[in-house]
Homo-oligomer: A and B are copies of this chain.
Amino acid sequence: MARHRVDDIAAALGVRWEGDGGIELARAAAPADATEDALAVAMDPAYAEALGRGAARAAILWDGADWRALGLEAAIFVTRPRYAMAQLTDRFAPRPDLAAGIHPSAVIDPSARIGNDVAIAPFVVVGEGAVIGDGARIMSHTSIAAGTEIGAGALLHPGVRIGPRVRIGARFIAQPNAVIAADGFSFVTPEPGAIEQVRATLGAEVTQRQSSYARIHSLGRVVIGDDVEIGAGSCIDQATLAETVIGDGTKIDNLVQIGHNVQIGRDCLICGQSGIAGSTRLGDRVVLGGQSGVTDHVEIGDDVIAGGGTLFRTSQPAGRVMLGDPAMSMQQSIETYKALRRLPRFMRQMAEFKKSVSKTGDTD
């Protein structure tokens, strides 16, 4: 395991350090778990006590901390802790458990083009005409279907499924068992059915009965930009004719469902178990909290931010902060939740009030 000097780490982070800059560190650790060769991460005074329970000689601390009083021999000081964490954990991140080269058990179609310095683990399958960029690490049990192209520097964790004709940019990360380009969920009845009637009448009249379904096949593809990450078990469906699109820099958490023909902009964050139904478009920098949902065929504008469990049942203009079902502005939603909690008591009070007024009236 590579070791890093205190002064080198501070220089890389562009921050200040004090004490013995020559201490060499093998890893980063929580304050109480830190061994002598670990950099304790205690960027908030709340962790001061935990430092005493660990054995760290050096720590990364909040600005202004008294490192000598904390029993340390060296300290690095940060002003923006979360961003420092990104840089620090990148430096100490263990590399995936994967030897260079192509494992003999992998089944690679002879027409596939595999870049330089690619590592392919056991039991990987790569289909006809697939293209894998330089430096990719394809972990075990992953399948990459015919005609798919993956950019340089990809990291595919075990069990990832990538369907046919997918285009993926550089530095793609897929967590275990993610599924890219399953067929879209698109079925139709020979005659107009009950669902179409419900949509047309908002449920007011339903005389049709659904009959058997015919599949609308997915002939399109999934197109994924640069620097995208897809979480464990998440699913992104293939487009019917055109493209399901995930923009540059967008990060998708675990167990998220992205329907067919969906278009997601740049630098979005889609948290765990959220779902986006077919043909919906999200702008750039949209954030969906966990277990959020967006109905089909709507548009969510740039910079919309939604708290956990928000359900968008209609389109949403840009820049709003939303919460609840149906989605309201976060301010309105919090006010509405408060009103809802008071509602049973309010109804009783109003009923009493009405009764008292009516009685007053009766005595007139």
A329 to chain B: which residues have CB within 8 Å?
203
User: Are the C-beta atoms of A177 and B233 separated by less than 8 Å?
Assistant: yes
Q: A179-B232, A291-B293 are in contact. Are A107 and B87 (CB under 8 A)?
A: no
User: Are the C-beta atoms of A82 and B220 separated by less than 8 Å?
Assistant: no
Alpha-carbon distance between A215 and B41 when the two chains are bound, in angstroms: 17
Alpha-carbon distance between A87 and B30 when the two chains are bound, in angstroms: 43
CB nearest to A89 among chain B residues: B217
Alpha-carbon distance between A94 and B212 when the two chains are bound, in angstroms: 23
Q: Chain A: how many interface residues by the 8 Å CB criterion?
A: 142
Q: Which stretch in A4-12, A17-25, A68-76, A338-346 binds the other chain?
A: A338-346
User: Are the C-beta atoms of B290 and A83 separated by less than 8 Å?
Assistant: no
The reply on A311 being an interface residue by CB < 8 A is yes
**B-facing mask of A100-112, CB < 8 A → 1, else 0?**
0001010100000
The reply on A168 being an interface residue by CB < 8 A is no
A55 to chain B: which residues have CB within 8 Å?
none
User: Are the C-beta atoms of A158 and B175 separated by less than 8 Å?
Assistant: no
Q: A123-B125, A125-B140 are in contact. Are A331 and B212 (CB under 8 A)?
A: no
Alpha-carbon distance between A136 and B241 when the two chains are bound, in angstroms: 26
**B-facing mask of A122-143, CB < 8 A → 1, else 0?**
1101011000000000011101
CB nearest to A176 among chain B residues: B161
Q: A182-B254, A290-B277 are in contact. Are A123 and B141 (CB under 8 A)?
A: yes
Separation in Å of the A328 CB from the closest CB of chain B?
7
**B-facing mask of A303-345, CB < 8 A → 1, else 0?**
1010011010100000101011110111110111111111110
A36 to chain B: which residues have CB within 8 Å?
none
User: Are the C-beta atoms of A272 and B272 separated by less than 8 Å?
Assistant: no
User: Are the C-beta atoms of B123 and A217 separated by less than 8 Å?
Assistant: no
What are some 16 contacts across the A-B interface (CB < 8 A)?
A: A32-B242, A85-B216, A86-B216, A87-B214, A97-B164, A125-B140, A159-B177, A175-B179, A185-B231, A185-B253, A195-B269, A203-B323, A215-B229, A254-B257, A291-B291, A353-B354
Apart from the given pairs A182-B231, A232-B237, A257-B273, 19 other A-B contacts in the complex at a CB distance below 8 Å: A29-B219, A80-B190, A83-B188, A83-B189, A85-B188, A89-B240, A105-B107, A107-B123, A141-B159, A158-B161, A159-B161, A209-B285, A233-B255, A259-B272, A273-B293, A291-B293, A328-B341, A332-B341, A350-B354
